[in-house]
Structure 1
Amino acid sequence: MMRTQLAPTVGPILFLDDIEDGQLRLSALFIVAQGESVPPVDAPGGPATPISLAHYDRATVWRARFTLPADRPSEYRWNGTTYAVAGDLTGDLRLAYVSCNGEEVGDMDREGSERNAMWERLRSEHQRRPFALMLHGGDQVYADEVTEGHELSHDWPERIPHDPSRAALDDLRHYLRERFLERYAALYAAPQFAWLCARVPSLMQWDDHDICDGWGSLRRSRTYSPVGQTLFAVARESFLVFQQATTDDDLPTRFADPEGQHLGWAVHGPGLRILAPDLRSERTRRQIMGPGGWAMMEAEAQHEVEGHTLLMSSVPLLGPRLSLLEALMVVIPRMQKYEDDLRDQWQSRAHRDEWRRMLQLVRNLARRDGHDITAVSGEIHLATRAVMDLGGGLHLNQLVASGIAHRAPPKGWARFLGALSWLGEDPLPEHPIRVERLPGQPGRYIAERNYLVLDRTAGNWTALWDLEASGMTEALHL
């Protein structure tokens, strides 16, 4: 196994645990060499002493928890450096949304300035006008290659042993943990990412590549095998440690299920709710969410919320009639390898009833609160948007920003999806879906790397996409 060189110290990487009593409850994450200690974080409320979260062969992950005010800009200090945090959630504010921070093959070998070019753009945009929070909508890490190099998982998911020994599985678990560490440490050490994430609290939601390509849409014989379950357990532990700065027995209060059977969460701030159901933990080939995820969504639908709801759906909630493409793939043998990619989508024929249930829930949620809802998604490596009329003058706006590091697919794929969108889609016949153009763009799907800016000014929300070649779009009023 070839080992990458770990940076001496990675961090602080800032995460929002929750918003309570006018305070941002924050965690700062650090990855340091095994045996090294981490100085305390100097916050307005006093020093915060880090605790160790996870141990690896060559490194330890540490976390310090502290609070900052949620009604004004503030700062904290660590190891001689002062970090300014925009922090004010009470009035005008800006949020950044990113997804797909990597690629399936060779991501660790890419040249840094090319790979992180859009992170550099996002850093410059923050320096121009700061972001209060950063939302990460899935595929924060591309873990597809972590299974390579171990005899139990090297051919995953095509060929796997049926009855490996306990000792062999323990060895696989150790191997995978070290590989996940290497990937997260490399991503978090990138200068553009590290600078930004030390100053803008992050909220993260996982998708399939945080585990492996197509997790939950693969055959049951793969995901429920001993190797599959070991892979999921390690990916889940890594997600909690590196994307939430926590462990199973210490989930922040924003998580709906303290036991962690699903990892959906909600944050309620002044005039803003950010709602992030977990679309992976309970996923199977026949369902996207299980009982826990649906219980969370039904409970949120009973809350009266003032302001605006941002619904993070790691795969787009609105889109073209992909079920037609899915049916075509079944009869073309060389296309069948893409089946799990389409089965991942809400629009899959396997998830049609569940998709309707989610759209009905969103409609009822909007009608209860009397305000539009904005869904933000990644996953497809393109920029696009769609609108669903919810009735009574209310709308569901779907904004897709993907990816921040994943290179764009061919422009022909964007044109094909644009043509497919002309067919329309109406899972709820009284609420048709329209795929719309981004402001100032000629096509419905834009094949450029991108991120999304969400801006609230005087209570009104707008959205802008920063497209790698085309630049910042005009503002879309939500």
Structure 2
Amino acid sequence: MPLLLGPVLRHVGETSATVWVQTDSPGVVEVLGCSAPTFEVQGCHYGVVLVDGLQAGSVTEYQVHVDGRQMWPEPDATFPPSVIRTRGHDQQDRLQIIFGSCRYPKTGVEKLDDKLGLDALDVYAARLPTTPVDQWPDALVLLGDQVYADELTPEARRHLAGRRTNGRRPPDEVVSFTEYEGLYRHTWGDPEIRWILSTVPTAMIFDDHDIRDDWNTSGAWRREVNAKPWWRDRIRAGLASYWVYQHLGNLSPTELRDDEDYQKVLAAEGDVWPLLVDLADRADAEVDDDKGLRFSYRWDMGRSRLVMVDSRNARILDSGDRKMLGNREFAWLEHQVTDRLDDVDHLIVGSSLPWLLPPAIGDMQMVNERAANRPGRRGKFAETVRQAADFEHWAAFVQSFLDLSRLIVDVASRDADAPATVSVISGDVHHSYVARADIPSARSNVHQLVCSPVHNYVPWFVKPVFKLGWSRRLGRVTRRWAQRNGCPALPFAWSDVDGPLFGNTLATLRTSGRDAEAVFEQPRDATSLDEVARVPLTR
């Protein structure tokens, strides 16, 4: 079949859109009269069509043609035609985005699929055709773990077992680009997922499992994994496939035209893998307290702004000075957040990892970081705990946590142009919650919104740990303990507004004027979801 994957509708502006596809051979891909040639990566073929000339506020059905032949919709399609919905001038003060993270694919093993439960995004896609088009979400935001490169389905393990003949590569982790290609086709190939990705603009960012569990937890982790003979192949394949499958679509048509790496790929003849090897090496390396490639990006959607932060690859670790973001990366974030704030009613910061954890757990991560920085056996033990307990969130990079907190306090406390809401949306932690930041000077309502998982199981120990983590009494004890261990004072307090919620979940952030709310839904059956929480974000 010529169209192997996609179409995936990515960035959509008032008059433009980006459509991504994977084809089975070289060709020219056409959407609504706009076309693009495919490029080749190790025998795989991809096209990114920049569609322009759309009308603001329109809903336009589209088809995908490859070399003049219609490949989408497929002849036996059961879902409605795919559409591109652009924002009109009368829709600038309204926004509806759905978001979540940690979506494990169906395994084909009944017992394991029963353990994973119903896929919340599958169910949402099945329900969407019965919803009027003008009530469809403006964007789907996937906050990490789009694929699991180190926790493979039984089918993927069997496939790899036949390829591992020399013993130099692990039998249960993908290493090459073509193995990643198989993961993406498996994960995005469900009919429900293909359709919703074809018709709802989708923003993405990676988290650790897109590359490997605990990716970039610490300098010690990087040194250990870099010593593995297969890791250089793995990180190149992981970052290159992320660039192809996820990052390119996050960029607007204008940004793609100005992107030097993308233009080199388009201009190259034959396999562009050598270009992607160079790209991946630059992205992985630390140079002058920064990374060589930026994966963070910004989407403006009417009077709402999404700034997506790369809180995985952008980390600075090799120098021993732990930072979630390098200096230039944080300066970029600061500019995107504060730029023309008088045009913004709702500021949304996307980070795969939560900014505000349950206070007791945040204190534990802060204390652990200080201990892990010490020499000797105590430091080594703390580093072991850091990796074993997944102490790798913003609180485990204390200075970066304080910098982000300062930036959010500054934005929320402005006199003239403070947004109505500042929301940090995150995933990763396999449960969902809403936390409110209690900032005395704030004119904005500031919240942490976490939705995870979309489709995964919740380990048995997570529920009591995270319930206990919100205990105010325990929080007072851990705060005193943290201060005795030299941790800085917190810039403000925060509290749990709703949650923790456990189970497969999809969240909606909805704005109207300067009002906003968050809604959390969980699957009831294959075509319907139940609302399990609704939280006003403005008071």
TM-score of the alignment, normalized to the shorter chain, above 0.5: yes
- Residue of structure 1 equivalent to 2:410: 364
Look up the match of 1:136: 142
**Alignment partner, residue 163 of structure 1:** none
5+ long unaligned stretches in structure 2: 65-69, 74-80, 262-291, 373-377, 480-487
**Residue identity matched to 2:48:** R
1:3-152 matches, cutoff 5 A? 9-16=4-11, 19=13, 22-23=14-15, 25-33=16-24, 35=25, 37=27, 39-42=29-32, 47-57=33-43, 59-67=44-52, 68-78=54-64, 79=70, 81=73, 82-88=81-87, 90-102=92-104, 108-110=107-109, 117-127=119-129, 128=131, 129-145=135-151, 150=164, 151-152=167-168
Judged with a 3 Å threshold, the aligned counterparts in structure 2 of structure 1 residues 394 and 93 are, in CA distance, closer, same or farther, namely: closer
- Give the alignment partner of residue 241 of structure 1, picking from 240, 244, 247: 244
Amino acid at match of 1:362: I
Shift in alpha-carbon separation, 1:394–1:92, aligned structure 2, 3 A: closer
- Alignment partner of 1:345 is 2:400: no
TM-score by length of 1: 0.80
AA at the equivalent of 1:453: T
Q: Deviations over 1:330-358 (max 9, x none)?
A: 9998995772553321122xx11221111
The Cα of 1:373 is off from its aligned counterpart by 0.2
Query: Which runs of structure 2 are paired with 1:461-476 in the superposition (5 Å)?
Result: 461-468=516-523, 471-476=530-535
The within-5 A match list for 1:163-178 is 176-178=176-178
Give the match for residue 266 of structure 1: 298
Per-residue CA distance 1:433-457 (angstroms, 9 max, x = gap): 11222xxxxxx31211101111123
How far apart, in 1, do the equivalents of 2:334 and 2:6 lie?
37
1:435 to 486, 491, 496: 496
C-alpha distance in structure 2 between counterparts of 1:421 and 1:138, whole Å: 24
2:357 matched to 1:319? yes
Q: Give the equivalent residue in structure 2 for 1:280.
A: 312
Structure 1 counterpart of 2:184, which letter?
Y
1:309 maps to which of 338, 344, 347: 347
The aligned residue for residue 398 of structure 1 is 448
Q: Percent identity?
A: 18
One-letter amino acid of the counterpart of residue 170, structure 2: H
Paired amino acid for 1:28: V
Deviation at 1:308, TM superposition (A): 0.8
- Aligned CA distance change for structure 1 residues 39 and 255 (closer, same or farther; 3 Å): closer
| In 2, Cα distance between equivalents of 1:208 and 1:430 | 28
CA change 1:101–1:251 in 2 (3 A) is: farther
Which whole-Å CA distance do the structure 2 matches of 1:374 and 1:399 have between them? 7
Say whether the 8 Å CA contact 2:345–2:513 is kept in structure 1: no
How far does residue 395 in structure 1 lie from its aligned partner after superposition?
A: 3.0
C-alpha RMSD of matched pairs (Å) = 3.6
Amino acid at match of 1:360: R
CA-to-aligned-CA distance 1:105-151 (integer Å, 9 cap, x gap): xx655568976631232114433231111111111111115797554
Quote the offset at 1:39 in angstroms. Answer: 4.7
Q: Partner of 1:344: helix, strand, or coil?
A: coil
Matches within 5 A, 1:139-218: 139-145=145-151, 150=164, 151-154=167-170, 176-217=176-217
Query: Cα offset for 1:430?
Result: 4.9
CA contact (8 A) 1:278 1:293 kept: no
1:169 alignment partner in structure 2? none
**Which of the numbers 438, 441, 445 marks the counterpart of 1:389?**
438
SS of the residue corresponding to residue 143 of structure 1 reads: coil
Task: Report SS of the residue matched to 1:12.
Answer: strand
- Equivalent-residue separation in structure 1 for 2:142 and 2:250 (angstroms): 19
Distance 1:428 1:52, change over 3 A: farther
Cα distance change of structure 1 residues 446 and 115 upon mapping to structure 2, 3 Å threshold? closer
Query: Counterpart amino acid of 2:17?
Result: L
Task: Tell me how far 1:93 sits from its aligned partner.
Answer: 3.3
1:236 counterpart letter in structure 2: L
Following superposition, the deviation at residue 202 of structure 1 comes to: 0.6
Residue among 463, 466, 478 paired with 1:414:
463
Q: How many residues align?
A: 434
What residue in structure 2 maps to residue 162 of structure 1?
Answer: none
For each residue in 1:282-334, what CA deviation from the matched residue of structure 2 results, as whole angstroms up to 9, or x when unmatched? 22452211123212112224412221111001100101232555569999989
**What residue number does 2:515 align with?**
460
SS in 2 for 1:445: strand
Deviation of residue 363 (structure 1)?
1.2
What is the CA–CA distance in structure 2 between the aligned matches of 1:268 and 1:366, rounded to whole Å?
18
Contact 2:118 2:523 in 1 (8 A): no
1:405 counterpart SS class = coil
Contact 2:118/2:455 (8 A) holds in 1: yes
2:78 — aligned with what?
none
1:154 aligns to what SS in structure 2? Answer: coil
SS of the residue corresponding to residue 386 of structure 1 reads strand
Residue 231 of structure 1 corresponds to which residue in structure 2? 234
Give the drift of 1:281.
1.9
Unaligned runs of 5+ in 1: 1-5, 158-171, 438-443
Name the SS of the counterpart of 1:461 in structure 2.
Answer: strand
* Cα pair 2:521 2:530 within 8 Å, conserved: yes
1:159-216 CA deviation, whole Å, 9 max, x = no partner?
Answer: xxxxxxxxxxxxx9xx610110000011121111111011001111111111111110
Cα 1:400–1:197, aligned 2, differ >3 Å: closer, same or farther?
same
TM-score (norm 2): 0.71
Q: State the SS of the aligned residue for 2:209.
A: helix
CA contact (8 A) 1:256 1:264 kept: no
Q: What secondary structure does 2:82 align onto?
A: strand
Write 1 or 2 for the structure with the bigger share of helix.
Answer: 2
CA contact (8 A) 1:177 1:238 kept: yes
1:15 alignment partner AA: R
C-alpha deviation, 1:255, in angstroms? 12
